[in-house]
Structure 1
Amino acid sequence: MKGIILAGGSGTRLSPSTDGINKHLLAVYDKPMIYYPISILMLGGIKDIMIISTKDDQERFKALLGDGSALGISLTYEHQIEPNGIPEALIIGEKFIGKDDVTLILGDNIFYGQGFTNLFRRAIKNHEHATIFGYRVKDPKRFGVVEFDQNQKVLSLEEKPEEPKSDFAVTGLYIYDHHAAKIARKLTFSARGELEITDVNREYLKKGQLDVQLLGRGFAWMDAGTHESLFEASEFIKNIQDRQGFKLACLEEIAFYLRYISKEALYKKGKSMEKNDYGKYLMEIANRKHNQQYWESIDRDPVLGLVENE
């Protein structure tokens, strides 16, 4: 399984904050926004990840994350010349995907919830062709809406419908087989002047190959693409971290507990930031006695909260 993060776009909804920087490099409380989708892919067991950004921002992402080796993963970079829609990420990443399956996640989407890691890993393990994730919303008219049967087989997809057939919105997380790039290449631009990810999903739906995984009560899905949602996401992250005492989307911590990096490497990274809480947190984890046994004994997911045993 490969992973692609789409972190391009013009960022106009967050202007003027994004006039000089990619929005995915802005902080969501105490870490860059891009950390959150990377953490999701890492927790899903995906180690080979492509980040697609604008050409001007590509070097900034490289300066922040390098080639991923410090986290025990592989990061590669490509750029999007114009923001032509989500499916373009599949086209840009076609050679990267090759014959593998791929998980595509939008760079401004944040997921949180008890058991999310297991749910996501099961979806990766069990999916055959295409899987989308549905999240209950109060006003489905504002979203792409998925209708499904009792077996979570998708019946229909609608974009911002006047009379929604369900109250589940389609989130910015998608799992596809290797045919997705070919499907994306055949799309035509919509009235909005973009390639639409809904059209990719509809192609799978026509073949009876589209499943939906529902995120029920206890899950949170946030799109940090506006000033209001960015503030709300930061506030949410701060409250969770303050109350529960561990950090969300802490990539070094995840890498350590997945045994991608050593305790010494974790401590060294923390030491380089020892004057702030993030660095102190990493050093504290590295210094904790019987680390792995402690973590497993309380069944904690390193980024998303409590999680049942796999």
Structure 2
Amino acid sequence: MLAGGSGTRLRPITHTSAKQLVPVANKPVLFYGLEAIAAAGITELGLVVGDTQAEIEAAVGDGSEFGLQVTYLRQEAPLGLAHAVLIAREFLGEEDFVMYLGDNFIVGGITDLVERFARERPAAQIMLTRVADPTQFGVAELDAEGRVIGLEEKPERPKSDLALVGVYLFGPAIHAAVAELKPSRRGELEITDAIAGLIEAGLRVDSSVIRGYWKDTGNVTDMLEVNRLLLESVEPGVAGRVDAASELVGRVVVEPDAVVERSRVVGPVIIGRGARIRDSYVGPFTSIGAGCAVVDSEIEYSIVLPRASIAGVGRIESSLIGHDVEVTPAPNTPRAHRLVLGDHSKVQISS
């Protein structure tokens, strides 16, 4: 499983947090992948990590919480998916393996895919999904039987609209293909080139087209969409305290030690452990992290990470708010805006 990468599309959040640990429905994206891997009957996991190793290792531990035995494999720089296979060579040995990108979210898991691979024994099996703009993805070309006959990485003129999803199954033949690779124009060892090497060697590469839901949670829009999907199926429950002056509508989860006072919460919503909602409105598809405070404010369709504070502001929507953030009103309407922003921030200012 890959949990490296710098998460540039989620900056500035990922300047201080691993992108795989940003939560949706108050649980890190990475954890959904770990659960899917364990559910497929896999027990040994090599977790490829980079600069955020300490943070990821603190969250995942030895993997026993997920029914896994985890070995951490350090990738010193993000040099491509095939490079991750290269550094995992000793760990993998001659075993078949699944490569799973830790920021992917797949409804339905991967159990059926793993069982099919074990039954049919191709050299590789990939997951595909139809996308509107295939120039942004690795793209597969299939024959009439659904076998892969060609692959291109972010092609200018795609031969299909079938993009590779971040889950791959390989037999040991992939190692020879990876060993032959040269860095691409991006300076990386591309897994698409390695799979193309299997095809050129006459080996069988199968595919499965996802019929359900898949997202690469690498940007804010997709994070919010996955959060929405997960909250759609949440079971309501109140373990914290909700006063008589508050109203909960629909599927609302209030976790232990959370307090809701003089507020209206319209689900689906999760209010995290120890959070405080006072004199506020929390609208649908919002996840409020542990220890947060929302006071005299309105928020909906948003993700608020632990210990953030929102006080005295108007309506907030479609937002991802980081750990320990403070959102407060400006003292006066400014004649000029004074900003302190992290690299790669995006700011919208009303005129």
TM-score (norm 1): 0.72
**Distance of 1:141 and 1:61 partners within structure 2:** 31
> Where do 5+ consecutive residues of structure 2 fail to align?
237-254, 259-269, 274-351
CA shift at 1:149, angstroms?
A: 1.6
* Secondary structure, aligned partner of 2:81: coil
1:32 to partner: Cα distance = 0.6
Indicate which of 38, 42, 67 corresponds to 1:42.
38
Say whether 1:111 aligns with 2:106: yes
* Residue aligning to 2:94: 99
Change (3 A) 1:30 1:108: same
CA drift of 1:279 comes to: 11
% identical equivalent positions: 36
**What SS does the aligned partner of 2:175 have?**
helix
* Aligned residue-pair number: 244
The residue number in structure 1 matching 2:75 is: 80
Deviations 1:28-72 (A, max 9, x none): 222111112212211221110011111x42222222222122333
DSSP-derived class of the 1:34 partner? helix
CA shift at 1:160, angstroms?
A: 2.6
Provide the C-alpha distance between the structure 2 equivalents of 1:21 and 1:11, rounded to a whole number of angstroms: 9
CA distance in 2, matches of 1:182, 1:275: 54
Q: Distance in 2 between matches of 1:275 and 1:45?
A: 35
Residue 184 of structure 1 aligns with an amino acid whose one-letter code is: V
* Structure 2 counterpart of 1:155, from 129, 142, 149: 149
Partner SS, residue 76 of structure 1: strand
Higher gyration radius (CA): 2
Change (3 A) 1:279 1:28: closer
Question: 2:13 is matched with which residue?
Answer: 17
8 Å contact from structure 1 (residues 201, 210) kept in 2: no
Residue 105 to residue 119, structure 1, CA distance change in 2 (3 Å)? closer
Structure 1 CA distance for aligned equivalents of residues 272 and 58 of structure 2: 18
Contact 2:96 2:172 survives alignment (8 Å):
yes
What amino acid is the match of 1:144?
G
Alpha-carbon contact 1:111-1:222 (below 8 Å) kept:
yes
Residue number among 133, 141, 155 corresponding to 1:139 in the alignment: 133
Letter in 2 for 1:236: L
Q: Which runs of 5 or more structure 1 residues have no equivalent in the other structure?
A: 247-272, 281-310
Tell me what 1:231 maps to.
Answer: 224
SS of equivalent residue, structure 1 residue 87: helix
Distance 1:39 1:278, change over 3 A: farther
Give how far 1:172 is off. Answer: 1.0
Q: How far is the alpha carbon of 1:138 from its aligned partner?
A: 2.2
Match of 2:161 among 167, 190, 193: 167
Match among 191, 207, 211 for residue 185 of structure 2? 191
Partner of residue 205 from structure 2, selected from 206, 211, 214: 211
Give the whole-Å Cα distance in 2 for the aligned partners of 1:15 and 1:168: 28
Task: Name the structure where strand makes up a greater proportion of residues.
Answer: 2
Inter-partner Cα distance in structure 2 for 1:164 and 1:12? 25
Counterpart residue identity of residue 102, structure 1: F
Q: Pick closer, same or farther for the CA change 1:275–1:211 going to 2, 3 Å.
A: farther
1:124/1:278 Cα in 2 relative to 1: closer, same or farther (>3 Å)?
farther
* RMSD of Structure 2 on Structure 1 (CA): 2.4
2:25 corresponds in structure 1 to 29
Query: Which of 202, 209, 233 is equivalent to 2:196?
Result: 202
Instruction: Decide which of 2, 5, 21 is 1:6's aligned counterpart.
Output: 2
Query: Once the 2 structures are TM-superposed, how far is the Cα of residue 190 of structure 1 from its aligned partner?
Result: 0.9
Residues 278 and 211 of structure 1, relative CA distance in 2, 3 Å threshold = farther
Say which structure, 1 or 2, has more relative contact order (CA 8 Å, 6+ apart).
1
* TM-score (normalised: structure 2): 0.64
Q: After TM superposition, which residue ranges in structure 1, 4 or more long, deviate above 3 angstroms?
A: 273-280
Shift of 1:201: 0.8
Task: For residue 135 of structure 1, report the CA deviation from its aligned partner.
Answer: 1.0
Q: Contact 2:36–2:110 at 8 Å: present in 1 too?
A: no
